[in-house]
Structure 1
């Protein structure tokens, strides 16, 4: 081993090696084995390690983990909706048993086996329905079919219905996932769907079945309005789109304004919890706690309505 020449800089990690290259961050001499290529020049191993330690995972504006593919969650939701729709189509379309099981019906219905699509009004129990001979009982939320509060948001029959909802989800979803992150966006979608279902449970005819992702889609519109307003962005286009959809809600027949209203309010509340939570290490805790409280309130509202219907 040779001694370094006096006055010649040597690598800070290998004192026996002469070096005329210095780290761009700390200025220490580094030999070829210690050089790490940077955007400009080279960095030493110590500075590289320090930088890696200090670098946090990419976060969105509202604290979520930034998605590398912001449209992936929307694609997943669209795929689930399409899969359910295909299952409905191959099992009878509007007369599919899946519609009766998964669509939202406040109270159970006794349908006619001989005349599909017809039902016996005023029959509120499976026992009486079975005694008819021609009856087939399908439970409602008041009979314990609580899953309908969520499954109805993934249920469609008419091609135009699923087409419009999925197109809206495709346009709105990636924007929100980009600013919220995957987990928060998914929570927004599902809570909006639940809020729409609870509104239907309270405000719709108790014997009427409701289905479709419109409540969740309206929730996305409400969320965009809240987040856009918080960011002081131009939300005139969102207001215009919302106005058109509200108009269609009352012009087109058999459209659930109750689900749309509930979803819109639910989505706006979730977005407000995410956007206005104070910055800091506890922001995520505040956000998820607020969403949990909203879910509990919606669940309590559903339970009260079920008790009234029972």
Structure 2
């Protein structure tokens, strides 16, 4: 759709409201992309819609056409359900770890290749992703060994999750979370020394950070708050003594941002193909990177 330029002179670059061309605005309708001024903004589940789209949605309701989120997912009433389930899974696994002890953590945390067992009893065994334990790439993303660690990650999940769940839809949000978690683990597997363990949901959380930045940019929101928060968390990863896996942060951030861009900016025609095709490409790239790393460790 062609956007009208603002009517305040050549020095202004923001488009004019489609109903009031003389009013510049940086906000657009989340359904049709028309620029809309404050008088024409109507609150929606995500962002704002123009009066025409709201009327069209009301008319379509009579024809049993279900409204869609910004990314094409189904609009639901509870936009925190998946976030609550993911939070509950992380807390449940943490409680199990407290109950079963360190061995439970050792069995499921991320480790490339290492010896495990008791030297004095001769019970040493080779463990790690390179030894075929590929499940560690995902299971480690639900493990936490410290109260502060799970507390920080779950607060971030509760803060970032619901807006993304509302904008993307439940299925796409789950895919974003798991793909970001896997991205963080694979980058850690590739860059961290082979016998250094790591765990935590940080890769997934940084994927949500990246996705939030993409979503806010799409809705023309001020990005400075999310960039400041993201920068603080990235810097923390490089502070000596905290033992924070910055590699997982970086991997999750990149994968989350790329996948979110495909989810949010995919064209309406063939949208699902672009979105899930991108998911498949990213997953394939991560698998390939893990395979190459495994070959290097065993070679």
- The two structures have a TM-score, normalised by structure 1, of 0.74
State the partner residue of 2:243. Answer: 254
Q: Deviations over 1:113-145 (max 9, x none)?
A: xxxxxxx7xxxxxxxxxxx62434362000000
State the partner residue of 1:104. Answer: 110
Q: Which runs of 5 or more structure 2 residues have no equivalent in the other structure? A: 1-58
Matched-pair contact (CA < 8 Å) for 2:138–2:181: yes
Deviation at 1:91, TM superposition (A): 1.3
State the partner residue of 2:165. Answer: 177
State the partner residue of 1:210. Answer: 198
Q: Deviations over 1:162-209 (max 9, x none)?
A: 010001000100010010000000000000000001100111111000
State the partner residue of 1:133. Answer: 121
Larger Rg belongs to: 1
State the partner residue of 2:184. Answer: 196
What are the residue-to-residue correspondences of 1:215-226 with 2, within 5 Å? 215-226=203-214
How many residues are matched?
Answer: 239
Change (3 A) 1:149 1:158: same
Whole-Å Cα distance in 2 between the matches of residues 167 and 106 of structure 1? 29
Q: Secondary structure at the match of 2:156?
A: helix
> Aligned match of 1:294 in 282, 285, 297?
282
What are the residue-to-residue correspondences of 1:1-310 with 2, within 5 Å? 54-92=63-101, 96-112=102-118, 133-137=121-125, 139-251=127-239, 253-280=242-269, 282-310=270-298
Q: Deviations over 1:98-122 (max 9, x none)?
A: 111110000132233xxxxxxx7xx
Deviation at 1:287, TM superposition (A): 0.7
Q: Which runs of 5 or more structure 1 residues have no equivalent in the other structure? A: 1-49, 113-119, 121-131
Matched-pair contact (CA < 8 Å) for 1:222–1:267: yes
Whole-Å Cα distance in 1 between the matches of residues 187 and 85 of structure 2? 26
State the partner residue of 1:31. Answer: none
Change (3 A) 1:269 1:169: same
